[in-house]
Amino acid sequence: MVNNGWVATPPTEPTPGAPAPPSAGAATRREFRRPRDMALSLAVLLVPIALVLIFYRVVLSGDSPVAVDPAPALESARAAGAFPVAAPAGLGDDWHVTSATFRRADDGATLRLGYVDPDDDPVQLLQSSVPPATLLPAELTAEAEAKGTVRTAMGAWRVYDGRPGETALVLTGTGRTVIVVGSTDTENLTAMAESLS
């Protein structure tokens, strides 16, 4: 039937066996979650992550520094005979060796031992036959200045301000320079210097 340009169509009947359209109540239940449901979903994700972190830190000691054996580097330095090698002795169990290397270069040989001190700060012990005029600016920057002395059984160490936040103790002698440097207090650096023999 045509009326004023509009065509009237008869209402369509639902096809037998076709699924009924979802009701407004069902859509509301799916689309809107309660805060409690979201919290439970997050808990399911966060609890296993927390358990893994606790296992890593407590059982595996994941926050502890990785220990390194300095003996091979010390033996290589002694065998090279480039300078007399001093080794730390009597440091407590709260000092940890984290790196140990010995390298030769055209201008001299260098032994580096990296530590974590009792305050969990990095400290490096460096012994080298590189001339001090070359070594000190390279290790402490050209702007480093001596600002005092510390005396141990090995002699008088000059106290330098190194890179920002670092202090260094420097002992120079014939054919060898020893540097103890780190971003820690002078007491820990002095303890390292006093342990050398």
Among residues 168, 138, 130, 163, the alpha carbon closest in space to that of 150 is found at: 168
Q: Give the pLDDT confidence score for residue 41 in this predicted structure.
A: 80
Structure tokens at 107: 């201008």
CA distance 174 to 106: 18
Structure tokens at 51: 């358990």
CA distance 41 to 116: 41
Mode of pairing for the β-strands spanning 2-3 and 6-7 = antiparallel
Residue with tokens 């509301």: 28
Q: Give the pLDDT confidence score for residue 37 in this predicted structure.
A: 80
Q: Give the pLDDT confidence score for residue 190 in this predicted structure.
A: 96
Note whether 140 and 172 are within 8 A (CB): no
Domain boundaries 71-194, corresponding CATH code: 3.30.200.100
Note whether 89 and 194 are within 8 A (CB): no
Distances (CA, A) of 84 to 69, 124, 128, 192: 20, 18, 9, 17
What residue segments make up the domains of the chain, in order of their start? 24-59, 71-194
Q: Give the pLDDT confidence score for residue 63 in this predicted structure.
A: 58
pLDDT tens-place values along the chain, 197 residues long: 455 555 556 555 656 665 555 555 555 555 566 888 888 888 788 887 877 777 667 676 555 567 889 999 999 999 999 999 999 999 989 999 999 999 999 999 999 999 999 999 999 999 999 999 999 999 999 999 999 999 999 999 999 988 889 999 999 998 999 999 999 999 999 999 999 98
Note whether 85 and 111 are within 8 A (CB): yes
